[in-house]
Amino acid sequence: MTGTPPVFVVHHLEHGRAVLDAAAGRPVILLSPPGAPGYQGIGWWQSLVATLRTEYPDTRFTAALDCADCPGWGMAALRQGVEKVLLSGEGSAFQAVREVAEQKGAWGEGRWGNDALDLLGAQDPGKSCREHGHRMWEKVR
């Protein structure tokens, strides 16, 4: 497989489950909502990811915490062991976080959000995941 796997913005555990059920073992990227550390917390994200890794041990997925334009959240997330962080912005604080993240292999691609399916408000998250995933998996074959 080449290219970026399908990206899904998950707001809670049921969204994560819907994505991983639809993935059926294929790789995906789970992305937090933008700025999630500020209103849901870093621990929330880590708990959600840990639960999904336990429930879906054979499914390959990347979990990225979107820290919006707040380098402090990004650095705190890195210190707490978050797998990947996304951060938007410029300046020395942004660059410092990016450098630390790159050293740890934890820098997420900012463009991941561009083709992401945001599951907020999805009436049937499973169906939405299957449809979006199918289109995206076809692109990355």
> According to the model, what pLDDT value does residue 133 have?
78
Q: Which residue has the higher pLDDT, 134 or 23?
A: 23
Strand partners, 117: 8
| Mean pLDDT of all residues in 77-81 | 96
pLDDT interval class at 1 (50, 70, 90): very low
Name the percent of the chain lying above pLDDT 70: 91
Determine the structural domain holding residue 24 and report its residue range.
Answer: 7-139
Q: What whole-number distance in Å separates Cα of residue 132 and Cα of residue 75?
A: 32
Residue 1 is assigned to a structural domain of this protein: no
Q: How far apart are CA 98 and CA 49, in angstroms?
A: 22
Q: What is the CATH number of the domain that holds 102?
A: 3.20.20.70
Structural domain includes residue 135: yes
Q: From edge to edge, which strands make up the β-sheet containing 7-9?
A: 84-86, 61-66, 28-31, 7-9, 117-118
pLDDT at 37 over 70: yes
Residue 127 in domain: yes
* pTM to 2 decimal places: 0.90
Residue 111 is predicted with a pLDDT of 65
Are the C-beta atoms of residues 8 and 48 closer than 8 Å to each other?
no
